[in-house]
Structure 1
Amino acid sequence: MTMKRVDPGVEVAAIPVPDMANLPNDLAPAVKFSVPTDEDLASVAALRSSSEPWKSRGETMEDSLKSLTALKPFIHVAKVQNQVVGYVTVERDGPVPGAAYMRNIVVRPELRRRGLGQAVLNQGLQVARDMFRKTIALRVDPANAPAVSFYRNAGFTTVATVVSKKSGKLRLLMSREL
């Protein structure tokens, strides 16, 4: 019998909840951004797997952790009270030639509509500027009306409708100048 050595990897646990009673209504000034530690990556994986569209696809925390590990150099973690509350991934190149690509932007559902999404988006835009890009692009499900509205309000316009390689569903390809 052959034995296969298994790498213990990073333990994936539930996302710790910030002390909601002590959070300000406007979270933007309280957000701190950092590159993810291994512990952060586990929290980000838990957040991703419990968010759409990954949740409806049946993505587990382990699946999310595997995907995010490959994206680690591009992840910027948002923290409030030293707890992960969101993240954004920005890559130098994507589907629009010469534009940075914002692959994911996720915010804890219970903290939405408190300025956190805008703070995470602004971080993504700044990261793209730091890459010396003049444009940033993203893909979004056209059925996700709140997200489409959020991006349009932030100055994004639809440049194409594309088919997702993973799901086979239509996605809006949106971009904006930096």
Structure 2
Amino acid sequence: MTMNRVDAGVEVGAKPVPDMANLPNDLSLAVKYNTPSDEDMASVAGLRANSEPWLSRGETLDDSLKALTGLRPFVHVAKVQNQVVGYVTVERDGPVPGAAYMRNIVIKPELRRRGVGSAVLNQALQVARDMYRKTIALRVDPANSTAVSFYRKAGFTTVATVVSKKSGKLRLLMSREL
């Protein structure tokens, strides 16, 4: 085992925040993807717990970590400057027979409308193609007009309106060909 010297006063384990001032306007080329490490899972859980709809449901960080641990094989972490900026989960099967299923896509709020969401969505589409799927599906709250618009611009169409088993609320079931 190698030991590194740590200067006094340096907080070990603290992650630097991406340098917002030096980020390009279109971050899509700066985003890198990987499977999540244990440390990444903690960051991803923090993103989820502080994003809608989980925030308004009162989901704790521990709840998010538990839920994401069950999804870990399907989690793809997006990083910029080696810092987690978002994630997407893509499963081989979901509510539409034969289609991949995108369960979650979450981007740090301060990086939205900078190309990160589109880049992460494109990664999800590629993951679905790598699973030899020809279609990808997702569910979204129809009241989340920003998300619905984002998916429509990306070529998704509404195929059904369904009731969420967890919340009992209506959701749009959307899909698109790959």
Normalising by structure 2, report the TM-score.
0.91
In the alignment, the residues of structure 2 paired with residue 35 and residue 88 of structure 1 have an alpha-carbon distance, to the nearest angstrom, of 11
Query: For residues 83-104 of structure 1, what are the alpha-carbon distances to aligned partners after superposition, in whole Å with 9 as ceiling and x for unaligned?
Result: 0000000000000000000000
In the alignment, the residues of structure 1 paired with residue 61 and residue 34 of structure 2 have an alpha-carbon distance, to the nearest angstrom, of 21
Residue in 2 aligned with 1:88? 88
In the alignment, the residues of structure 1 paired with residue 56 and residue 14 of structure 2 have an alpha-carbon distance, to the nearest angstrom, of 18
Aligned length: 166
Query: For residues 139-167 of structure 1, what are the alpha-carbon distances to aligned partners after superposition, in whole Å with 9 as ceiling and x for unaligned?
Result: 00000000000000000000000000001
Deviation >4 Å, runs of 4+: 13-16
Residue in 1 aligned with 2:128? 128
* Preserved contact between residue 14 and residue 43 of structure 1 (Cα < 8 Å): no
In the alignment, the residues of structure 1 paired with residue 98 and residue 15 of structure 2 have an alpha-carbon distance, to the nearest angstrom, of 36
In structure 1, runs of 5+ residues without a counterpart are 1-12
Residue in 2 aligned with 1:23? 23
Aligned-partner residue type, residue 87 of structure 2: Y
Query: Offset of 1:14 from its aligned partner?
Result: 9.6
In the alignment, the residues of structure 1 paired with residue 87 and residue 166 of structure 2 have an alpha-carbon distance, to the nearest angstrom, of 21
In the alignment, the residues of structure 1 paired with residue 85 and residue 22 of structure 2 have an alpha-carbon distance, to the nearest angstrom, of 15
In the alignment, the residues of structure 1 paired with residue 22 and residue 160 of structure 2 have an alpha-carbon distance, to the nearest angstrom, of 43
The percent of aligned pairs where both chains have the same amino acid is: 83
Residue in 2 aligned with 1:167? 167
Going from structure 1 to structure 2, the CA distance change for 1:163 and 1:43 (only over 3 Å counts) comes to same
Query: Offset of 1:17 from its aligned partner?
Result: 2.7
Aligned-partner residue type, residue 76 of structure 1: H
Partner-residue secondary structure (3-state), 1:71: helix
Aligned-partner residue type, residue 153 of structure 1: K
Residue in 2 aligned with 1:157? 157
In the alignment, the residues of structure 1 paired with residue 36 and residue 79 of structure 2 have an alpha-carbon distance, to the nearest angstrom, of 10
Partner-residue secondary structure (3-state), 1:105: strand
Query: Offset of 1:19 from its aligned partner?
Result: 1.3
Query: For residues 5-56 of structure 1, what are the alpha-carbon distances to aligned partners after superposition, in whole Å with 9 as ceiling and x for unaligned?
Result: xxxxxxxx99863111111111000000000000000000000000000000
CA RMSD of aligned residues (A): 1.4
Going from structure 1 to structure 2, the CA distance change for 1:108 and 1:14 (only over 3 Å counts) comes to farther
Query: Offset of 1:65 from its aligned partner?
Result: 0.2
In the alignment, the residues of structure 2 paired with residue 16 and residue 111 of structure 1 have an alpha-carbon distance, to the nearest angstrom, of 16
Is 1:55 paired with 2:55? Answer: yes
Partner-residue secondary structure (3-state), 1:78: strand
Equivalent residues in 2 for 1:61-100 (5 A)?
61-100=61-100
In the alignment, the residues of structure 2 paired with residue 121 and residue 142 of structure 1 have an alpha-carbon distance, to the nearest angstrom, of 19
Residue in 2 aligned with 1:39? 39
Residue in 2 aligned with 1:3? none
Partner-residue secondary structure (3-state), 1:66: helix
Residue in 2 aligned with 1:8? none
Residue in 1 aligned with 2:10? none
